[in-house]
Structure 1
């Protein structure tokens, strides 16, 4: 595909709906909840989960030749909005970043917003370019929906907690069995549904791949260094399916 064809295949209205309207709407909703006392882990993941759901609903049904350029354009738009938000004094624009920053990440709150955002998007672009786009979509769902639910579920229902050493930042990250179970369930469902709809493998193989994929994604989410989980989930998930599903 030439550069001109790439840009011509971008669905502009979808980019605006997800990248501009969606980002600002979800960010302001999350900030309103934050100001009313909702914990920062919930509001941060509302942004993560909400944009992932909106992206999947608006983009995943498109043919690959439209899906890929539109997804990339949408991701770039989201990053631009977040960058604008980090500099803006307008309360509605600034709310996007404010609703994403966790108190435990201060004084480097913005850094821990942009690190997973940018690294996750770049890894998604790479996966879309290198492997079957279906595998990138499944890995994106594990990251966007599974990881997006893990922290809120862990905070609300997490009774069985455990800690994992973060070898990169040299701290210990607290996880929960309940949160990790959410990653497993969503990853298993995303892989199974994606493979079944594509009719690429038989039922037994689909179940085996889905189980292996879900276990892998759960392990990656649990052990990933802070801020690097988006990148590692998408990259590992896409690679897993590429090498094992063919």
Structure 2
């Protein structure tokens, strides 16, 4: 428990310092929040893994619990109550507050994160029951982290072919690009290849044929800011089916 507590403290402190620094870049240096938000996106998915290694936390249950609790503390640190009282909370919030998401920025982000973590939690129990290696959960986690994480910056920088996505329970439309969606496809294929040793040859071929396209279409059709749970559901379902084939 001491190791878990120390890891939690380290993750939360790093989150706070990172988000405050990114927020100051937005407020004082004019850096686009679309970029700082994605840096936070990467940190939220990848940073806990560093502390899992540093504190030798190997239990999947403890890892998911740490992810849930640290994320909850981060979002509480950005809530309206905190922002009205603390300048640091305002700086942190500035790192994620895209103008097009206001006033739903935090509610969308919190609900998406909770739903995504719930999908992962359920997946681990299903896979334990049916015999799918729990390590395969990282195919979809990493494909989402890098695919969805890079899709927006790539779309902003290189996107020429736009299409429309709907918001989450709002009558508002948002722009996405084919170039951003192509990033999801490439990253999904990459992580299929990196995890090929877990599959028989015919399973691997099927995975490569189905998985990248399915995740790309899922990301394209998912509600704005709420694609992570759908990517986790679709990605893990395909991995399950292919592995058990």
Shorter-chain TM-score range = 0.7 to 0.9
Residue pair 1:188, 1:211 contacting (<8 A) in 2 also? no
Alpha-carbon distance change, 182 to 29 in structure 1, aligned in 2, over 3 angstroms: farther
State how many pairs are aligned.
235
Contact 1:79 1:117 in 2 (8 A): no
Q: CA deviation at 1:154?
A: 0.7
SS where residue 224 of structure 2 aligns?
Answer: coil
| Residues 176/81 of structure 1: CA separation in 2 closer, same or farther (3 Å cut) | same
Change (3 A) 1:238 1:60: farther
1:121-158 deviations in Å (ceiling 9; x for gaps): 22222222322422322211122221111111111111
- How far apart in 2 are the matches of 1:168 and 1:49? 26
Residues 154, 178 of structure 1: 8 Å contact kept: yes
Q: 2:119 matched to 1:118?
A: no
1:96-111 correspondence runs (5 A): 96-111=92-107
> Which 4+ residue blocks in structure 1 deviate beyond 6 angstroms?
60-64
Deviations 1:41-90 (A, max 9, x none): 11211211222232344448999961332232222221122113213232
Segments of 5+ residues of structure 2 without an aligned counterpart are none
Segments of structure 1 that go 5 or more residues without pairing to the other structure are 1-7
Cα distance in 2 between the residues matched to 1:115 and 1:143: 17
**CA positional deviation for 1:165:** 5.0
Determine the structure 1 residue equivalent to 2:142: 141
**Is 1:16 equivalent to 2:9 in the alignment?**
yes
RMSD: 2.7
Structure-1 separation of matches of 2:56 and 2:124 = 13
- For 1:180 and 1:122, locate their aligned partners in 2 and report how far apart those are by CA, in whole Å: 25
Give the superposition deviation at 1:213. Answer: 1.1
For 1:32, the equivalent position in structure 2 comes to 24
The answer to whether the 8 A contact 1:31-1:96 is kept is yes
Contact 1:146/1:187 (CA < 8 Å) preserved in 2? yes
Q: Indicate the residue corresponding to 1:200 in structure 2.
A: 198
Residue 54 (1) aligns with residue 47 (2): yes
Contact 2:140/2:232 (CA < 8 Å) preserved in 1?
yes
Q: Is the 8 A contact 1:43 1:99 kept in 2?
A: yes
2: CA distance, partners of 1:68 / 1:191: 25
